[in-house]
Structure 1
Amino acid sequence: MEARPRVAGIVLAAGKSTRMGRPKQLLPFRGRTVLECVVDNALASRLHRVVVVLGHEAEAVMPLLGHRCVTTVVNPLYGEGQSSSLKAGLGAMTEETDAALFLLGDQPLVTADTINLLIAAFADFPSPIVIPTFEGHRGNPVLFSRETFPRIEALSGDRGARGLFREYGDDIRSIDVRTPAILFDLDTEEDYLRLLREFPAV
């Protein structure tokens, strides 16, 4: 029997939260912070390791992760855009990594079950890119196989890895999920208030 592919999780949490006006990684949610929820969901999944990319307010965020089994990378170039954080995360990958799942640090509702669904889809058929969809809409997190890493390394500015979607076209595999959580992230104060209102502690 073939070994299960090694998929690493890369949590992108380096941004300045400009539209929010305060560090969204540190916002309280369900007795923890938003970022802690994201990281804990990743750790509860079948990801073989978890890397957290920090940048803005890294000194304030780092203590939250101290007792968790994660690799922390500080991106000093976070001001240059998301591509710098993608590359910082890939820099922590090992040769044994078959794919990387990029998780947004402001999506606390993405569960281990959703992560595992994407890992299983890649294990079943190792497409270069695996994307979750809900009612026809693409969301996050997105899985990128090792073959795409050089393309990601070549990105610049605030162009995220989604810029590769057109390049890979029909080779991308879309996986339907049953939750709109893959579409919900925190960009504004209104988003945060909606999160607290519609998804209270359980």
Structure 2
Amino acid sequence: MKRHSALLLAAGGSTRLGRPKQLLNIGGVPLVRHAARLLLATRPEHLVVVTGGAETEVRQALAGFDVVLVRNENWRTGMASSLRCGHQALAGNSLPLLIAGTDQPCLTGRHLHGLLEQNAGGKDVITSYGEDGRGIPVLLSPTTQQRIQDLHGDIGLRQLWKNTQTAPIGVCAPELGFDIDTPEQLDAAIRAGWIDRD
């Protein structure tokens, strides 16, 4: 497995859902802990977890894990500030960066290892959802990471590949196109058995 660092985005306020999605349970385990466990299983040099909304509970959910917890004071402004915050915590890092979130209940270790196993030749590797687009998890090259500090707002990673001649490599995983942002999506995830009932 190639050497890498990892970043878990866990700062969102889940305003549309009305409750912290990071703390929904999957098999009795909070989603944030589940995602951190998957990332740690890839054996990163460092795992940085960016917190913000529900910070105290998220920290408690990660108790005992070998992670670096960083609070994003500007978490309400969107994903870009969390990316910047997490990247700053990895200052001096020259390794590929594996980035995941906490709202994809179908995420497995296979998805993360699939990104790392790509012979990318310095290119970024992203997840393709099919017609629903593309996004995290992603593996960013050190070159692309240098542009993280230029990101703003809630558009996030998509900005990194605008006006660039180097297209990222896509790994197809349509099941990861489902994430939990609304009560309706949460209900669908519970019915599918992906998320525990309260």
TM over 0.5: yes
Which residue, 74, 80, 84 being the options, matches 1:87?
Answer: 84
| 2:123 and 2:166 in contact (8 A); partners too | no
Please name the residue that 1:166 is paired with. Answer: 162
Give me the TM-score of the superposition, normalised by structure 2.
0.88
Counterparts of 1:152-163 in structure 2, within 5 Å, are 152-163=148-159
Structure 1 window deviating more from structure 2 (107-116 vs 165-174): it is: 165-174
Distance 1:151 1:176 in 2: 25
Relative to structure 1, the CA distance from residue 129 to residue 195 in structure 2 (aligned partners, 3 Å threshold; closer, same or farther) is same
Q: CA deviation at 1:170?
A: 4.4
Which residue, 21, 43, 48 being the options, matches 2:45?
Answer: 48
Distance 2:135 2:155 in 1: 16
Distance 1:126 1:86 in 2: 23
| 1:27 and 1:33 in contact (8 A); partners too | yes
Please name the residue that 1:23 is paired with. Answer: 20
| 2:129 and 2:172 in contact (8 A); partners too | yes
Please name the residue that 2:72 is paired with. Answer: 75
In structure 1, give the amino acid aligned to 2:179: D
| 2:80 and 2:153 in contact (8 A); partners too | yes
**1:105-162 deviations in whole A, cap 9, x for unaligned?**
21232111110110111xx223432112244642421121111122111112223021
In structure 2, give the amino acid aligned to 1:147: T
Please name the residue that 2:189 is paired with. Answer: 195
Relative to structure 1, the CA distance from residue 189 to residue 174 in structure 2 (aligned partners, 3 Å threshold; closer, same or farther) is same
Q: CA deviation at 1:53?
A: 0.4
**1:20-45 deviations in whole A, cap 9, x for unaligned?**
01111111221111211111111222
| 1:129 and 1:173 in contact (8 A); partners too | yes
| 1:38 and 1:109 in contact (8 A); partners too | no
Counterparts of 1:135-146 in structure 2, within 5 Å, are 135=130, 137-146=133-142
- Flag structure 2 segments of 5+ consecutive residues without an equivalent: none
- 3-state SS in 1 of match to 2:146: helix
| 1:46 and 1:119 in contact (8 A); partners too | no
**1:36-94 deviations in whole A, cap 9, x for unaligned?**
11111112224333211000121121111121111111111112221110011101215
Which residue, 127, 131, 148 being the options, matches 1:132?
Answer: 127
| 1:6 and 1:96 in contact (8 A); partners too | no
> What's the Cα RMSD here?
2.1
User: Number of aligned pairs?
Assistant: 195
Indicate the structure with greater helix content: 1
Please name the residue that 1:39 is paired with. Answer: 36
Identity %: 33
